[in-house]
Amino acid sequence: NAGVTQTPKFRVLKTGQSMTLLCAQDMNHEYMYWYRQDPGMGLRLIHYSVGEGTTAKGEVPDGYNVSRLKKQNFLLGLESAAPSQTSVYFCASSYNDRGDVLTFGAGSRLTVL
């Protein structure tokens, strides 16, 4: 089925470790987003991309890096994980920038000990 696929779905890290979350979409969407979801805070935008080879900072970018080397993939990296990065991460993609056709992945739950 067409959609947004996130890997891994679950991960436990120790403080200081690094990891990469992969988001893949097969809908040929230009726009891709990484959000984090924390209780009572809704979703907050970490980074986004408006096309292949582009990235931009969102609301809470510190401690994260992203890359969009291929149009279908948007990678979120944590270079040195911290307990404050324990969260559920959602990737989303869209063919326009109006926000009405966002397709979300199922989420990746990350725990940093």
State the residues that interact with other proteins by CB under 8 A.
Answer: 4, 31, 33, 35, 40-45, 48-50, 56, 58-59, 90, 92, 96-102, 104-107
Q: How far apart are CA 92 and CA 77, in angstroms?
A: 16
Q: State in angstroms the smallest separation of the CB of 67 from other proteins.
A: 16
CB of 54: closest distance to other proteins in angstroms? 9
Q: Phi/psi class of residue 16: alpha, beta or left (left: φ > 0; alpha: ψ in -120 to 50)?
A: left
Least Å distance, CB 11 to other proteins, is: 16
Render 68-100 in DSSP notation, one character per residue. -SSTTEEEEEESS--GGG-EEEEEEEESSSSSS
Report the residue number, 57 or 70, with the smaller CB distance to other proteins: 57
Query: How far apart are CB 68 and other proteins at their closest, in Å?
Result: 12
Give 6 or 85: the residue with its C-beta nearer to other proteins.
6
Which C-beta is closer to other proteins: that of 12 or that of 79? 12
In the bound state with other proteins, the residue whose beta carbon lies nearer, of 18 and 56, is: 56
- Label residue 71 exposed, middle or buried (CB < 10 Å: 0-12, 13-18, 19+): middle
